[in-house]
Structure 1
Amino acid sequence: MEGLKSFILMYAGLFAITNPIGAVPVFMGVVSHLPIEKRHEVARKVSIAVLVTLITFALIGQWIFKFFGSSVDAFAIAGGILLFRMGMEMLSGKLSSVKIDEEEVTLEEVAVIPLAIPLISGPGAITTVMLYTTRENPVIVILTIIAISVTVYLILSSGNKIIEKMGRVGIKVTTRMMGLILTSMAIQMIINGIKGAFNL
């Protein structure tokens, strides 16, 4: 019973941080031109990338950062810069550099970066799972991450219906709105990284 309570609390916290619902407009803007089968494939690849990323950092995150001489704060700054660039392109209505074609390699590349990392499994999520592992049963932490990954897939996959209902104009409007939100998220991510790096 205690394990179930921990699972629910961790799931709720990680869901809020990864915010897969907030990623849907970005996902739609990137895959709107693809057939439904490909959209589901991208959603599946994103969820797998989120799963692998969070489990990896939950188990050996500390050693990864130490090995490369990096930190979560540096990751936050780099991720923020990437999201800022993407957000600016979305604001201008230009998704040429982040849109994907139907080639398998490109599908995998964009599913991992920037959709899975850092949009969903960003610095906040990585830090959270690393902290969970030090405080909770690692098995429950892994089960929580698996549940989040499945949730990501289900939510992104359902975005296909939203695309069909919104139409091309709705997608363009949503893309620009999300671009503004994404740039603000990116700036905040960079600010948090700078604060952490310089102990401000």
Structure 2
Amino acid sequence: MNFDFKEIITASLILFAVIDIIGSIPIIVDLRKKVGHIESEKASIVAAILMVMFLFVGEEILSLIGIDVNSFAVAGAFILFFLALEMILGIQLYKDDAPETASIVPLAFPLIAGAGTMTTLLSLRSEYETVNIICAIVINVVFVYLVLKSSGKIEKVLGSQGINVIRKIFGVILLAIAVKLFATNIQNLFS
């Protein structure tokens, strides 16, 4: 076990930017209005299980279908790039049908543990110790749970302008992560 506080903090911040639970508050509030109750515990636990499972077997799944980690990371960089553009420009590139329930499908996957998160986990695995990434996942899932539980209160405190500002800040951070991820892995593909 090689615990590194700096790695845990860095991985936590990267996952926090990718998951973007603060930026998702408007979506969560909308889901709450449509379906009534959101099962925060269930969504958080399922998202954590998905992330940890993908951290350990994601690479094997990719090799099974003939894709190397660098190719997946480059593809993931494009996903993160477009997610960042959505956050910064306030546009929606990916449209999904309105969910009927707000527990696992819209929240745990793809909102919390979506393609961007999975790509990021594989990228983090190539740079950081697994135990530190798991700590980062746990920190983020706890934060996600707290946000899901208190999304109504957070919306009232921040207001729509505050949420938009936070979303744009994390969009820029995510854009920088996407560029770094692309640059690092595109070099590895051609070397």
TM-score (norm 1): 0.68
Q: 2-side partners of 1:178 and 1:72: how far apart?
A: 25
Q: Residue 64 of structure 1 is aligned with which of 61, 66, 78?
A: 61
TM-score (norm 2): 0.70
- Give CA-to-partner distance per residue, 1:90-121, whole Å, 9 cap, x none: 22212473677443499526633464244444
Matched AA of 2:75: A
Q: 2-side partners of 1:13 and 1:110: how far apart?
A: 27
**Bigger helix fraction:** 1
Count how many residue pairs are aligned between Structure 1 and Structure 2: 178
Q: Is the 8 A contact 1:76 1:192 kept in 2?
A: no
| Structure 1 alignment gaps of length 5 or more | 1-5, 133-140
Q: Is the 8 A contact 2:73 2:182 kept in 1?
A: yes
Shift of 1:170: 1.0
Q: 2-side partners of 1:171 and 1:39: how far apart?
A: 22
Q: What is the RMSD of the two structures over their aligned residues, measured on CA atoms?
A: 3.5
Matched, 1:112 2:109: yes
After the TM superposition, list the runs of 4 or more consecutive aligned residues in structure 1 that deviate by more than 6 angstroms. Answer: none
- The alpha-carbon distance between structure 1 residues 171 and 38, as it changes in their structure 2 partners (threshold 3 A), is same
Q: 2-side partners of 1:18 and 1:117: how far apart?
A: 16
Identity of aligned residues (%): 19
Matched, 1:86 2:83: yes
Residue 17 of structure 1 corresponds to 11
